[in-house]
Amino acid sequence: MGLNFMQACKDDDTTDDPTPEPQEFVADSTSFTSYASWSLDAELMGEDPALGAAHAGNDSNSVRKVYFMDGQAPVNGEYPIGTIIVKETSNDTAFLANTAMVKRGAGFNSANDGWEWFLLDQNGAILNRGADLMGGACAGCHSKASVDWVFTKN
């Protein structure tokens, strides 16, 4: 009785990563619709002098909730392409505003590390977007964050 042995060879330089990092992520009309079910990573109350007039409801009655899709955290000090963050602002009586930022990549807005800024309605529909949203106010403020343009989760 003879035994036959077979050995499979595999090139060690190949990668079995089933989900490679995307080169670019472009948010669309469905990207923000379920944001309130995402990870709530910060709930800030009251006036924040750093916000000034840039965000609606910056007074003693304001509540700012910051949601991260999939609870994303920075990796080696940088958020990966496809990171989506939504800040919902309300007060005692009403919804005031939703702002968001998305790490887009692929050379988009390279001066601001690939972030795109958004204004959303109460349901997460895109009202306005861009690299220079609000005349650059988003980028101007977020450039002061200690980790990749994000203040609330480092």
pLDDT digits (tens, 9 = 90+) for 68-103: 999 999 999 999 999 999 999 999 889 999 999 999
* Cα distances (angstroms) measured from residue 137 to each of 64, 66, 132, 141: 18, 19, 8, 6
Percent of the chain with pLDDT over 90: 63
82: number of Cβ within 10 Å: 19
Backbone angles phi, psi at 80, to 5 degrees: -75, 160
Most confident of 7-21, 27-41, 51-65: 27-41
Measured over all CA atoms, what is the biggest interatomic distance in the chain, rounded to whole angstroms?
Answer: 86
Residue 45 identity? M
3-state SS class at 136: helix
Mean of pLDDT over the chain: 86
Of 147, 111, 129, 107, which Cα lies nearest the Cα of 31? 129
The residue extents of the domains of the chain are 35-142
